[in-house]
Amino acid sequence: MAFIHKYSTISKGNTFNQGIIDGCINFKIAPDITHPYYKDVIIGINLRRMSIIVKMGLANTLKCLSRNKVDAIVVGTGLASLHNSELFLCSLIDPEQSILSPTPFINSVHNTISGEIALHTQNKGYNSTYSQGALSFEGALLDAILLTKEGKNVIVGGVDEAIPILDKMGAESKFTTGSTFFNLSPNKEDSLGEIINCIITKENKLDSFINENFNSNEDLLISGFSTCNNSKKTKNLNYSKFSGIYMTNSAFGLQLAVELLNSNIFELDGHILLSKIKRIFIINHASKNNIGIIILKK
């Protein structure tokens, strides 16, 4: 029911213009995050006070627009604009600042992203924002799937921002910045793939889920880590290796899956792929004990 018609990623490499496979994975050297020239993409709007996270969400949204009217905008973000949260927090304890600027406060609010996308695309439809740690995108995607079942065309995406503080928090991996958005609709015509399920479950239920549902002769599994902890012990394509670590990077994984479904690639990053992939499982276990599973089919 939820058919993907367009996608757009801002991440490592030139994914915004070339997609993930050509813009990122096929690079010989690990590329840095590459922002588009926002002035060329977001036209006619003063970008000076717009936070980077809103710019990413808005630029991706504009790239995902089609001739079909958008009925709903749904965004997932694990941490919203950390930069602005930090700015406002620090201004609270700065004795020099007797009058606080409201701008970082406004920009720190989670739904500033979906709100500004609505404002700048003049979209008066359904609008919502999800924030559930590393499963924030899955929440947004489930809402988007429901919306397509209700007959609506949806822009849905994930976006998160890294700031230097994150590296001091004792996380094992360095955090990065990234964003991926999709255009979903109930119409199959000219679509690039269909999302048939989006589940959140406990890690200890993953094995039985894979055993019951996954067919290694026709299904491909990609995940946020190099080995997916299931009984088949398959070494799988690891999207985090290319996206970097951020809370909504399963959206990047989903775009990679869409690109794979529509390509004729046999080998990617040392992985031999099936000649005919029927379904792709995107497994996100970045959240402790909880797993996100997105299933995409051609």
Partner 1 sequence: MSISITGLGIVSAIGMNLDENLNSLQNLRSGISTIELIDGLQENFLGGEIKLTNQELSLIAFGNNQQAVLPRSLLLSLIAAKQAWGENSINPKIKTAIIGATTVGGMDLAEKILEKDKRIRTLAHNPSGIITDYLADYFCLDEFRTTISTACSSTANAIILGSRMIKMGLTDRVLVGGGDALTKFTVHGFNSLRIYDTEFCKPFDNDRKGLNLGEAAAYIVLENNKSIKITKNKKIASILGWGNANDAYHQTASSPEGEGAQKAMQLALKEANLSLTDIDYINAHGTATPNNDLSEGRAIEKLFGPKQLFSSTKAYTGHTLAAAGSVECIYSILSIKNNTIFPTLNHNTLMSELSVKPVINIKKDITINTVLSNSFGFGGNNATIIIGR
C-beta atoms surrounding 200 within 10 Å:
15
Residue 122 touches partner 1, criterion: CB under 8 A: yes
Residue 242 touches partner 1, criterion: CB under 8 A: no
Which residues from 11-50 bind partner 1, rule CB under 8 A?
none
- Both tokens of 68, joined, read 């079909």
Provide the b/e sequence for 163-198 (b: ≥16 CB within 10 Å): beebeeeeeeeebbbbbbbbbbbbeeeebbbbbeeb
Least distance CB 81 / partner 1 (angstroms): 11
Nearer Cβ to partner 1 (54/192): 54
Which residues from 56-75 bind partner 1, rule CB under 8 A?
73
Residue 166 touches partner 1, criterion: CB under 8 A: yes
Query: Interface with partner 1 by CB under 8 A: which range of 8-16, 17-25, 87-95, 252-260?
Result: 87-95
Nearer Cβ to partner 1 (87/237): 87
Nearer Cβ to partner 1 (101/216): 101
Of 4, 42, 58, 82, the residue at the interface with partner 1 (CB under 8 A) is 82
Q: Which residue(s) pair with 159 in the sheet? A: 179
Maximum alpha-carbon separation in the chain: 65
- Both tokens of 73, joined, read 């905008």
Least distance CB 83 / partner 1 (angstroms): 10
Nearer Cβ to partner 1 (16/175): 175
- Please calculate the CA angle 123-125-128 and round it to the nearest 5 degrees: 100
Report d(CA 36, CA 51) in Å as an integer.
14
Of 29, 43, 92, 272, the residue at the interface with partner 1 (CB under 8 A) is 92
Query: Interface with partner 1 by CB under 8 A: which range of 140-148, 151-159, 255-263, 265-273?
Result: 140-148
Nearest Cα to 177, choosing from 6, 55, 86, 3?
Answer: 55
Residue 177 touches partner 1, criterion: CB under 8 A: no
* Beta strand segments in the chain, E: 2-10, 72-76, 126-130, 154-160, 178-185, 193-202, 219-223, 237-238, 267-268, 271-272, 279-287, 290-297
Return phi, psi of residue 160, to 5°: -150, 155
Percent composition of the chain: helix, strand, coil (DSSP 3-state, to 5): 35, 25, 40
Give 30's DSSP letter: -
Report d(CA 198, CA 292) in Å as an integer.
7
Residue 229 touches partner 1, criterion: CB under 8 A: no
Report d(CA 212, CA 209) in Å as an integer.
5
Least distance CB 46 / partner 1 (angstroms): 12
Nearer Cβ to partner 1 (275/289): 289
Nearer Cβ to partner 1 (146/274): 146
Query: Interface with partner 1 by CB under 8 A: which range of 17-25, 81-89, 180-188, 225-233?
Result: 81-89
User: Which residues contact partner 1 (rule: CB under 8 A)?
Assistant: 73, 78-80, 82, 85-86, 88-90, 92-93, 98-102, 105-106, 109-112, 114-116, 118-119, 121-133, 135-136, 138-139, 142-143, 146, 149-150, 165-166, 168-170, 199-202, 205, 247, 290
